[in-house]
Amino acid sequence: MSRAAQFAQVAALAAIAVQAVAAADGQWSMPAKDYAATRYSDLTQITAQNAKGLHPLWTFSTGVLGGHEGQPLVVGDTMYVVTPWPNVLYAFDLAHEGYPLRWKYRPEVSSNAIGAACCDTVNRGAFYLDGKLIYNLLDGHTVAVDARSGRELWKSQIADLGSGETTTMAPLVVGERVIVGAAGGEFGIYGWLKALDLNSGRTLWNVHNMGPDADMHVNAATFRPFYDHGADLGTRSWGNDSWKTGGAPVWGWMAYDPQLDLIYYGTGNAAPYNPEQRPGDNKWSSSVLARRPADGALVWAYQFTPHDSWDYDATGAMVIADLSIAGKPVKALVHFDKNGFAYTFDRSNGQLLVAQPFVPVTWAQGVDLATGRPRLDPSKQTGVSKGNVKGICPSLEGGVSPASPPAYSPRTHLFYTSTNNLCMDYEAAHANYLKGTPYMGINSPYNPGPGGYLGSFIAWDAASGRKVWEAKEAYPTWSGALVTAGDVAFYGTLDGWFKSVDARSGRELSRFKVGSGVVGNPITFRAPDGKQYVAVYAGLGGDWALLSGDIRSDDPSDVRAPADYMKDIARHTSQGGMIWIFGL
Amino acid sequence: MNANVPVAALAAVLMAALLCGCTRQPAPAPAQPATPPAVRYESHLAAGGLLPPGAVLRNPHAGDVAVAKSGAQLFNAMNCDGCHGEDASGNWAPNLGDGRWRYGGADAEVFSSIYYGRPKGMPAFGGVLGAEGVWTLVTYLRSLAPPPNIPTESWQEPP
């Protein structure tokens, strides 16, 4: 047996073991609950019948004001929380009243990362495996911390802050490989993915998302994309050698299929935002890539938005689900893209099976399943020569933010996701590359989408590409989703309501106004007292730290006027990081 | 365009293009007395009530409308607008035209912020632009007229 095959077998066994443990014991040990990234828990104490009795039982201020994306982890009798920069790691003792801290880990992390992070100082969480917590610091480092003592085990520099690389994503650990990437699509980085050794932090492989085949770990024997063929797609699809500063960052979520031994992740926008500086498809920006964890080899890839002209990152979650499509069982991969379409693939080969809009879309009329390509509306193509292009839906905040991962219930066979109902005008400008500064070239004011609401929480049938129900919200909806075997789904709103809804009908079951807007992802767990709880962060931020107006009160030099499409959000919320736990 | 190679050339060309005809005399280097090297912040507290001496930096283009206009172009060409927004109106980094300054708004203080950078991620531009380029930016930023008030309470219903 080759080393790679041996590794794959071990990884697969480990994956199955972890999945089984996580499913059976009420823990939440990895960002998306399981390797399939379902954010589904089989806990059943909280049901659609009793959820109206949910109320807050415990809160804790993290002392940090940045946007609290991501989610806590619960392993055994401990809850772990990573804050936005300065990336404090808290360990709470769930076995004692008041959940006092067991320990607190304070990493050294550069304050320069604040300015290099485009969209607030967010962190999307830690991953627990083998007694270690693994997470990224904003300034381009990955750390491993001993889960019992809070002692730092290793710290590795993975990214170059000086080039505009910051690290906001949660790692995925497969076997002994810690998979990480970097943000920086606004700084013209040369987007990449790395695997670190779980025990030492040493880099095992480093692959790029574009560039020469050698840099991308593409070889003819293993690379079999369903729609695209030929060598060096990662350079040939970028005019003027623009791949060298082409962005395609990795800052979202990953999934792993132990049977196929493939990791799935999405890439962000191509840089700069003015598409005329990078003629061609720009592969593999705004794409999903399937790679082997052992050596990073690329197996298949699909580009959602060729020649991205609207900042449509594809870093949103890739969810593994076994679906029945037209009566046939399908090993599916489901993705809600910033570009407004929801995609259902055959995850073994990247064949697109379903692609339908889940929010109002104007940049394309649809997606051709035979070619995999969007049917573009030429009047919505952007670039310096196009001037100010109006009425593009969705806005570059996305039909859903990649920061807001969906959930999938194998009981209802439905996906649950937040959405944004915003459109934009897009006026591109020539961008100059200057290392360590933004490489953008855009002015893009937003407008409300049609219908008189700015966001929603929806249930989606990915087998047919159909919206099953929709709970409309006054503001863009930016939290992740959670769904349970009690058939209850959970989400939070930008103005700070934490809600539970009936997973089958969308009927609201409970609501509570938490301390700040919710941009994090709810989780559920069983505490040492045997009861089921739901935890979520409050902490308005992410893009909404920039766009909400006067929601920041700790800096007298930063006072912002309200956004003209939602003038009153600052009436309802302001910054503030808190963990909330709800129970019956 | 790629990487570092053209940056110095770019800056030089930009500076030549932007400043051609705008300056009345060769740009003087800022005064750099041997001691002390640092800019003194007038807003800082002083132990014993005694302010230490500080470097004297004077903007050679203070109030020059033509230089301010060049500075506006340089602001975009150097990607300042990426973080600080179109017309310096704020994006992920603060608004620079609202009269509110994190590190002081006097010419010398703004010069120091741009030339050497700031530890919350403001890059040092002194290396790529030199003193003359930084003064050009300072002149632009100081030309922006602060609004009388930032309307943070605009949710109020009209009576």
Each residue of A406-460: pLDDT tens digit? 999 999 999 999 999 999 999 999 999 999 999 999 999 999 999 999 999 999 9
User: Per the structure block, which two tokens stand in for A74?
Assistant: 């619960």
CA B156 to chain A, closest CA, distance in angstroms equals 8
CA-CA distance, A129 to A8, in Å (whole number)? Answer: 17
How far is C-alpha A276 from the geometric centre of its chain's CA atoms?
Answer: 28
Are the C-beta atoms of A228 and A307 separated by less than 8 Å?
no
Mean pLDDT of chain A: 95
CA A545 to chain B, closest CA, distance in angstroms equals 8
CA-CA distance, A172 to A159, in Å (whole number)? Answer: 17
Per-residue pLDDT reduced to its tens digit, A358-395: 999 999 999 999 999 999 999 999 999 999 999 999 99
CA A94 to chain B, closest CA, distance in angstroms equals 36
pLDDT band for position B37 (cuts 50, 70, 90): low
- Mutation pick from A238, A432, A548 vs chain B, by most beta carbons of B within 10 Å, is A432
What was the ipTM of the complex prediction? 0.91
Please answer yes or no on whether A558 and B86 come within 8 Å at the CB atom.
no
pLDDT band for position A137 (cuts 50, 70, 90): very high
CA-CA distance, A158 to A166, in Å (whole number)? Answer: 10
Sign of the Cα pseudo-torsion (B64, B70, B76, B77, in order): negative
Q: Which residue has the higher pLDDT, B41 or A281?
A: A281
Say if residue A18's pLDDT is above 50.
no
Per-residue pLDDT reduced to its tens digit, B131-152: 999 999 999 999 998 887 777 7
Say if residue A510's pLDDT is above 60.
yes
Q: Considering the candidates A34, A165, A176, A186, report the single residue annotated as catalytic.
A: A186
The residue in chain A having the minimum alpha-carbon distance to the alpha carbon of residue B129 is A434
Q: Find, among A582, A584, A466, A481, the residue nearest to A534 by Cα.
A: A582
CA-CA distance, A201 to A70, in Å (whole number)? Answer: 22
The residue in chain A having the minimum alpha-carbon distance to the alpha carbon of residue B150 is A561
Per-residue pLDDT reduced to its tens digit, A63-102: 999 999 999 999 999 999 999 999 999 999 999 999 999 9
CA-CA distance, B117 to B102, in Å (whole number)? Answer: 13
Per-residue pLDDT reduced to its tens digit, A153-184: 999 999 999 999 999 999 999 999 999 999 99
Lowest mean pLDDT among A189-193, A328-332, B56-60, B72-76: B56-60
Give the number of other Cβ atoms within 10 Å of residue B150's Cβ.
Answer: 18
pLDDT band for position B40 (cuts 50, 70, 90): confident
Q: Is B95 on the interface with A (CB under 8 A)?
A: yes
Contacts of A581 (CB under 8 A, 6+ apart): A56, A57, A58, A59, A99, A533, A534, A535
B118-145 b/e with 16+ CB inside 10 Å = b?
Answer: bebbbbebbebbbbbbbbbbbbbbbbbe
Say if residue A15's pLDDT is above 80.
no
Q: What is the pLDDT of residue B21?
A: 40
Please answer yes or no on whether A114 and B78 come within 8 Å at the CB atom.
no
Beta bridge partners of A419: A456
Q: Would you call B136 helix, strand, or coil by DSSP?
A: helix
Q: What is the pLDDT of residue B147?
A: 82
| DSSP H or E segment with residue A185 | none
User: Per the structure block, which two tokens stand in for B133?
Assistant: 């380029």
Rounded to 5 degrees, φ, ψ at A53 are -85, 5
Rounded to 5 degrees, φ, ψ at B74 are -65, -35
The residue in chain A having the minimum alpha-carbon distance to the alpha carbon of residue B149 is A561
Say if residue A17's pLDDT is above 80.
no
Per-residue pLDDT reduced to its tens digit, A486-503: 999 999 999 999 999 999
Closest partner residue to B151 among A436, A556, A561, by Cβ? A561
pLDDT band for position A20 (cuts 50, 70, 90): very low
Q: Considering the candidates A87, A123, A209, A269, report the single residue annotated as catalytic.
A: A269
Per-residue pLDDT reduced to its tens digit, A522-580: 999 999 999 999 999 999 999 999 999 999 999 999 999 888 899 899 999 999 999 99
Sign of the Cα pseudo-torsion (A338, A344, A347, A351, in order): negative
| DSSP H or E segment with residue A456 | strand A455-461
Q: Is B150 on the interface with A (CB under 8 A)?
A: yes
Are the C-beta atoms of A85 and A136 separated by less than 8 Å?
no
Q: Which residue has the higher pLDDT, B22 or A509?
A: A509
pLDDT band for position B153 (cuts 50, 70, 90): low
Q: What is the pLDDT of residue A160?
A: 98
Q: What percent of chain A has pLDDT over 70?
A: 96
pTM for this one? 0.93
Please, what is the Cα angle at A450 between A448 and A453, to 5 degrees? 65
Please answer yes or no on whether B10 and A432 come within 8 Å at the CB atom.
yes
CA A157 to chain B, closest CA, distance in angstroms equals 18
User: Per the structure block, which two tokens stand in for B49?
Assistant: 């009530």
Q: Is B127 on the interface with A (CB under 8 A)?
A: no
Q: Annotated catalytic, A311?
A: yes
Q: Is B124 on the interface with A (CB under 8 A)?
A: no
Q: What is the pLDDT of residue B17?
A: 45
Are the C-beta atoms of A7 and A258 separated by less than 8 Å?
no
In B, which residues are within 8 Å of A571 by CB distance? Answer: 155
Give the number of other Cβ atoms within 10 Å of residue A411's Cβ.
Answer: 15
Furthest CA-CA distance within chain A: 64
Q: Is A116 on the interface with B (CB under 8 A)?
A: yes
Name, of A11-25, A92-106, B100-114, the range with top average pLDDT. A92-106
Q: DSSP code of B118? A: B
